């Protein structure tokens, strides 16, 4: 299966995963040379083969209290479902715009499934972009999970 997802950068620290990066296609994989990084790659490969394969990895995403709560809530979105930024905001007692802001800074894309959050009107954005390669990745991930896109 061909994914639009190019090489991934994996960052680890103190026994936990701290960052996942989408790298330009020309660049080779840049994976921290640790046993944990190996586990990360293996779990990601399983997931790319079969979306129902979840992740069991020690994660440490650095961020503010609010961001932590947003990222925590993201991990509760069931496979194959999409929520809107507004849904998230209501559950958190916050505002949609603030939720989008926090999602934008998610350091662990794919593992923390920020691709399962879309706008009430369109598709929102992904990895800091509202158009371009990262949005293709978002669409691929959603299709891979069996979501038919509302467009």
Partner DNA sequence: TTAGGTAGTCTCG
Partner DNA sequence: CGAGACTACCTAA
Nearest to DNA of 98, 139 (CB atom): 98
Among 127, 137, 141, 142, which residue interacts with DNA (rule: CB under 7 A)? Answer: 127
In the three-class reduction of DSSP (H, G, I as helix; E, B as strand; rest coil), residue 129 is classed as strand
Decide: is 3 part of the binding site for DNA (CB under 7 A): no
Instruction: Convert 8-39 into a string of H (helix), E (strand) and C (coil).
Output: EEEEEECCEEEEEEECCCCCCCEECCCHHHHH
Q: First-to-last CA distance in the chain? A: 24
Nearest to DNA of 18, 94 (CB atom): 94
Q: Which of 114, 123, 142, 147 is flagged as catalytic?
A: 114
DSSP-assigned letter for residue 20:
E
Among 49, 130, 146, 150, which residue interacts with DNA (rule: CB under 7 A)? Answer: 130
The candidate with the shortest Cα–Cα distance to 114, out of 149, 76, 64, 148, is: 76
Nearest to DNA of 10, 118 (CB atom): 118
The candidate with the shortest Cα–Cα distance to 43, out of 35, 31, 33, 54, is: 54
Decide: is 113 part of the binding site for DNA (CB under 7 A): no
Among 22, 47, 71, 126, which residue interacts with DNA (rule: CB under 7 A)? Answer: 126
Nearest to DNA of 36, 98 (CB atom): 98
Distance CA 93, CA 111 (A): 24
Q: CA distances (Å), 103 to each of 29, 36, 96, in order?
A: 24, 25, 11
Decide: is 64 part of the binding site for DNA (CB under 7 A): yes
Decide: is 102 part of the binding site for DNA (CB under 7 A): yes
- Is 103 annotated as catalytic? no
Which residues of the shown chain bind DNA in the complex (CB under 7 A)? 63-67, 84-86, 89, 94-106, 109, 114, 117, 119-122, 124-128, 130
Residues marked active site are found at 114
């Amino acid at each position: 299966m061909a994914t639009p997802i190019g090489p991934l950068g994996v960052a680890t620290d103190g026994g936990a995963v701290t960052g996942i990066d989408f790298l330009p296609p020309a660049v080779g994989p840049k994976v921290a040379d640790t046993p944990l990084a190996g586990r990360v790659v293996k779990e990601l490969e399983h997931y790319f083969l079969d979306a129902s394969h979840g992740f069991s990895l020690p994660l440490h995403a650095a961020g503010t209290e609010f961001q932590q709560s947003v990222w925590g809530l993201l991990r509760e979105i069931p496979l194959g479902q999409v929520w809107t930024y507004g849904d998230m905001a209501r559950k958190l007692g916050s505002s949609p715009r603030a939720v989008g802001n926090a999602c934008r800074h998610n350091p662990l894309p794919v593992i923390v499934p920020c691709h399962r959050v879309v706008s009430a009107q369109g598709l929102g954005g992904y990895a800091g972009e509202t158009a371009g390669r990262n949005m293709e990745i978002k669409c691929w991930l959603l299709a891979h999970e069996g979501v038919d896109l509302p467009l």
